Amino acid sequence: MLELAVQMLRFRKGAFVATFAALAAGVMILMTCALLVESGLRYQGTPQWYAGAVAIVADGELTVPGPELFGETESTTAPLPEGGRVPESLVATLAAVPGVAAAVGDHSIAVTAPASPGTPVTGHGWGSAVLAPYRMIAGGPPRADREIAVDARLAAGGKLRPGDDVAVIVGGAERKFRVSGVVGAAAPRATVFFTDAQAARLDPNPGSFAAIGVLAEPGADRAAVIAAVRAAAGEARTYVDGRRGLVGQPEAVAARALTVQAGSAFGGYAAMIIIFVVAGTVGLSVRHRRRDLALLRAVAATPGQVRRLILGEVGLLSLLAAAVGVPAGLAATAWTRDQLVTRGFVPDTFVLRGGVLSALAVTVAVAVVALGAAWIAALRTSRIRPTEALGEAAVERALGGQVRIVSGLVCLGGAASLTGLTGATGGTTALGAATGMLYLFVLAVALLAPWINRAAARLLAPVLRTVWGSSGYLAAANLRANARGMVAVLTALVLSVGFGGAVWFLQDNLQRQVTVQHHEGTLAQQALVGSAGLPAAATARARKIPGVVAATGVRRTSVIVPNRLEAQAVPAQGIDPVGADQTLDLGVRAGSLADLRVSTVAVSTTQADAAGWKLGDDARLWLGDGTPVTLRIVALYDRGWGFGDVTLDTETLVGHTATGLDDHVLIRTAPGADAGPGLADLANAYPMSAVVGADRLSGELAGDLAVSSWLNKMLIAVLVGYAVLAAANTLVMAALARTRELALLRLVGVTRGQVKRMVQAEQAGLLGVALAIGSAVAAVTLSSVVHAVAGVRIPYVPALGAATIVGGTIALALVATMLPIGRVLRTPPVEGIGIRE
């Protein structure tokens, strides 16, 4: 059978190229997603910084008991957005563990070095240098509070030598130090060392450490020490081996989360689309060869043999596709990784790892989908009796069974019921909801397509006749007779229009929501922005400037909320509530921001929906460092996208964020008052800060978003591209399969021009239907998801984008049909009639 399959493949290259292209592109996309996930899971940051320690005790993650599912309590573990802290007292406990030579507390302090701006720097106490360990290259360790040691990277960037004076910004203020020495660079981030006492003083979270490194006594039993440390650490987590690299490296944790999340989410969406496309293409290719298969049956192939033949062909194609798709996927992932590094999503220590596992999983998955589709397509062909098959090869059969109609309607109902969804927060959830809904709609269209096609043919017949005359008459007849054959074409077109229209625009809508809400909700005209952070005093100082009506310090952070489905980190802000009503308008729906205190909180309406909170409820949530708090909800507001889903009093956050500093201060000035000089003084008082128009702040936000949504946009573009490829594929296949039919038409006296016009008329009919359904599906999906996440009824659709989708679909359909038809028409009809189907 395999030999026969190979021969069939070789003979019908054209038809198989389409299936092959769909499979290979599918393998490539899935391979990229899988490899991102695999590399992310294997990525452990750079353990050099803690290479000297046998174990690191820290608190980098939070495990939250999740919802009860089927009687079992699930739990979710999330990385702590602000990094967790361990108490100072734990150092003594750990040092007392047998086999432990020393336990060293590590302060991790955000530092900015104006001498080499743009390089993120971390400050530590000299005591923790043994954890790496660090080697002195020149000079000596810091001995006085005014001394620091810098690493080679900073020394090179700022041309520093021992004895030089250097200014660094810590805690929002510039401080002068003398360089005591230079150490070799070991950590992925640039590093400076203070004395231990100075480090303790500068740490914004006194009384705690970012991590504690445990050094084992020489000759101690490593495993026993680790077990004892684990027991002694209590609540805190113990990291050993490669996992040490993730402690104290927020960018490594973020890189891991980003690649794993993006890879698996998009892998999921891609898988759905690939199932559609592969099933459609394989089904179509089997359908076009019914005559051959029927003959095989008649010439004495058992149903099983025909099935094996089809499965053999598709299996071979899957293997071929994997052979091309896997290397292509590797290349695509390498490119993606480079882009991610260049754009600053992941540190350049992030490398692609593994691949064998991903390649295997993807190959198997795609082969299973393809074989499943082939099996279903083969079932019909091989179950019917041989003469029936010969007969059917010429005439189209009935539209389809009751089961098909019923399942189609069920899908439609399911999709429609999803339009009422509420309380989806966050871009990923929204994207997931949109894709799920879209999938159901397209599935419904695929199932109901025969009836849709026939109804459309009836409806359009008069139009086609009037516009195209006798060619239009033939076109309408073809559309009706071929209602089943056009299923794959209609589905592919609806899929690309629907996907492009819904998911691409959804991303635009989410981005736009953020900027629009931020713009509309900012009442202040000016903002003091400090890239090295601003102390709370900046707000107080701004309020004293003549002409300033109100000033609000804003601290951006994330908190972890127990949403119904799982615990999630959501963006949050801490504000100084005094006079906030003059600078911020969060679109409060219920309650009042004036009641915001240390013990209360305001949340967005979508967040309240997602967690099941109401005004006056006690909300239990976790601050960015994992501290649980219970806060009474005093206000619900609409502009969660622009300002974060949770708004707290800055006081609540004190000691719970990594820097302990504000990001910006919103400043409202009285009309006509000239606060210019006062504001200029303010900016001068804080290093690396500037006063900008509030619009600039929204603009920068938009810029940041554009950068951070790059990966999403890229992956969506790939998926839309894949849907388009599939549509083109099916169109070409359908066109080429008509050789005999068109030859016959020309033999009975239809001119070449008439045939062309007939095909044009068919295309117009089909396209009209596909565009109408596709746009309807996209519109319903987009508006309900946008409504659910942003509360806006009418989604934003950029005119250019809409034109691209409509124009692109038309161009695609014309090119993918008229070119092959043109080729078919160039062969003399007598040859065409003899040509194998």
Q: Which is nearer to other proteins, 183 or 824 (CB)?
A: 824
* Closer of 98 and 304 to other proteins (Cβ): 304
Contact region with other proteins (CB under 8 A), list: 3-11, 55-63, 568-576, 586-594? 3-11
Candidate residues 4, 227, 688, 690; the one interacting with other proteins per rule CB under 8 A: 4
Backbone angles phi and psi of 613, in degrees to 5: -95, 150
Minimum CB separation from other proteins for residue 295, in Å? 6
Of these, 159, 383, 564, 614, which contacts other proteins (CB under 8 A)? 383
Amino acid at 508: D
Among 115, 138, 227, 393, binds other proteins (CB under 8 A): 393
Quote the least distance from Cβ 474 to other proteins, whole Å.
23
Span from 151-159, 241-249, 385-393, 796-804 in contact with other proteins (CB under 8 A): 385-393
CA 74 – CA 499 distance, rounded (Å)? 33
- Smallest distance from other proteins to CB 380, Å: 14
Interface with other proteins, residue 836, by CB under 8 A: yes
* Contact of 77 with 253, CB cutoff 8 Å: no
Complex with other proteins: residue 293 or 635, whichever CB lies closer: 293
The residues near 211 (Cβ < 8 Å, ≥ 6 apart) are 50, 56, 57, 58, 86, 105, 106, 108, 247, 248
Q: Cβ 451 to other proteins, closest distance in Å?
A: 17
Nearer to other proteins, 272 or 393 (CB): 393
Q: What Rg value do the Cα atoms of the chain yield, rounded?
A: 32
- Distance, CA of 354 to CA of 540 (rounded, Å): 54
* Least separation in angstroms between CB 732 and other proteins: 19
- Tell me how far, at minimum, the Cβ of 837 lies from other proteins, in Å: 8
CA distance 555 to 533: 9
Identity at 487, one-letter amino acid code: V
Q: With respect to other proteins, which residue has the nearer C-beta, 307 or 639?
A: 307
Environment class of residue 531 by beta-carbon count within 10 Å: exposed (0-12), middle (13-18) or buried (19+)?
A: middle
For residues 367 and 318, the answer to whether their CB atoms sit within 8 Å is yes
Candidates 387, 417, 470, 827; binder of other proteins (CB under 8 A) is: 387
Strands (E), 257-305: none
| Cα 53 to Cα 48: distance, rounded to the nearest angstrom | 10
Determine the interface stretch with other proteins among 244-252, 388-396, 439-447, 820-828 (rule: CB under 8 A). 388-396
Task: Quote the distance between the C-alpha of residue 615 and its chain's center.
Answer: 32
Chain positions 718 to 777 lying near other proteins, rule: CB under 8 A, are: none
The CA distances from residue 521 to 359, 420, 584, 692, 722, in Å, are 48, 27, 6, 17, 39
E-assigned strand segments in 579-649: 588-591, 600-604, 618-622, 628-637, 646-649
The least CB distance from residue 505 to other proteins, in Å, is: 45
CB of 4 to other proteins, least distance (A): 7
134 C-beta neighbours (distance < 10 Å), count: 23
Q: Which is nearer to other proteins, 161 or 397 (CB)?
A: 397
**Cα 479 to Cα 74: distance, rounded to the nearest angstrom:** 52
- Give the DSSP H/E element, type plus range, for residue 89: helix 89-95
- State the distance between the two ends of the chain, measured CA to CA, in whole angstroms: 21
- Closest CB to other proteins among 674 and 831? 831
Stretch that binds other proteins, among 96-104, 386-394, 623-631, 723-731 (CB under 8 A): 386-394
C-alpha–C-alpha distance, residues 418 and 436, integer Å? 9
- Minimum distance of other proteins from residue 278's CB (angstroms): 23
Which residue number, 387 or 804, has a Cβ lying nearer to other proteins? 387
Nearer of residues 124 and 297 to other proteins, judged by Cβ: 297
Least spacing, CB of residue 7 vs other proteins, in Å: 6
**Which of 313, 645 has the CB closer to other proteins?**
313
Only one of the segments 612-620, 741-749, 811-819, 828-836 lies at the binding site for other proteins (rule: CB under 8 A); that segment is 828-836
Rounded to whole angstroms, how far apart are CA atoms 690 and 538? 12
One-letter amino acid of 424: A
Integer Cα distance of 371 and 22 in angstroms:
14
Q: State in angstroms the smallest separation of the CB of 300 from other proteins.
A: 4
The residue whose two tokens read 């294997």 is: 42
Instruction: Give the Cα separation of 135 and 138 in Å (integer).
Output: 9
> What is the footprint of other proteins within residues 6-25 (CB under 8 A)?
7-8, 10-12
Shortest distance in whole angstroms from residue 8 CB to other proteins: 5
Cα–Cα–Cα angle for 95, 100, 101, rounded to 5 degrees: 90
* Residue 407: CB minimum distance to other proteins, A: 24
User: SS3 for 777-807, per residue?
Assistant: HHHHHHHHHHHHHHCCCCCCCCHHHHHHHHH
Q: Which two tokens stand for residue 479?
A: 């559309």
Asked whether the CA dihedral 516, 520, 525, 526 is positive or negative, the reply is: negative
| Shorter beta-carbon distance to other proteins: residue 292 or 638 | 292
In the complex, minimum distance from the CB of residue 393 to other proteins, in angstroms, rounded to a whole number: 7
Fill in the per-residue mask, 633 to 672: x = in contact with other proteins (CB under 8 A), - = not in contact.
Answer: ----------------------------------------
Cβ within 8 Å of residue 67, ≥6 positions away: 73, 74, 564, 565, 566
Of 4 and 540, CB closest to other proteins: 4
Specify the 3-state DSSP secondary structure of 208: strand
Distance, C-alpha 648 to centroid of its chain: 27
Shortest reach from residue 12's CB to other proteins, in Å: 6
Binding pattern for the stretch 142-181 against other proteins, x by CB under 8 A and - elsewhere: ----------------------------------------
For residues 332 and 242, the answer to whether their CB atoms sit within 8 Å is no
- The one-letter amino acid code at 672 reads G
Residues 6+ apart with CB under 8 A from 383: 303
CB 534 within 8 A of CB 574: no
Residue 306 or 506: the one with the smaller Cβ distance to other proteins is 306
Select 393 or 744, whichever has its Cβ closest to other proteins.
393
CB of 384 or CB of 635, closer to other proteins: 384
Find the part of the chain contacting other proteins (CB under 8 A) among 201-209, 380-388, 498-506, 644-652. 380-388
Min dist. Cβ of residue 409 to other proteins (A): 25
Query: CB-wise, 375 or 710, nearer to other proteins?
Result: 375
Nearest CB to other proteins, comparing residues 1 and 173: 1
Q: Could you tell me how many residues of this chain bind other proteins (CB under 8 A)?
A: 30
Task: Report in angstroms how near the CB of residue 297 gets to other proteins at its nearest.
Answer: 7
Residues 281-310 that bind other proteins (CB under 8 A): 291-292, 295-305
Question: Least distance (Å) from other proteins to the CB of residue 292?
Answer: 6
Partners of 646 in beta bridges: 572, 603
| Stretch of 266-274, 381-389, 564-572, 781-789 contacting other proteins, by CB under 8 A | 381-389
Among 341, 390, 797, 818, binds other proteins (CB under 8 A): 390
Please, are residues 179 and 160 in contact by the beta-carbon 8 Å criterion? yes
* Residues contacting residue 407 through CB under 8 Å, at least 6 positions apart: 447
Q: Is 683 helix (H, G, I), strand (E, B) or coil?
A: helix
Q: Which of 343, 385, 458, 544 binds other proteins (CB under 8 A)?
A: 385
- Under the rule (CB under 8 A), what is the footprint of other proteins? 4, 7-8, 10-12, 291-292, 295-305, 383, 385-388, 390, 393, 834-837
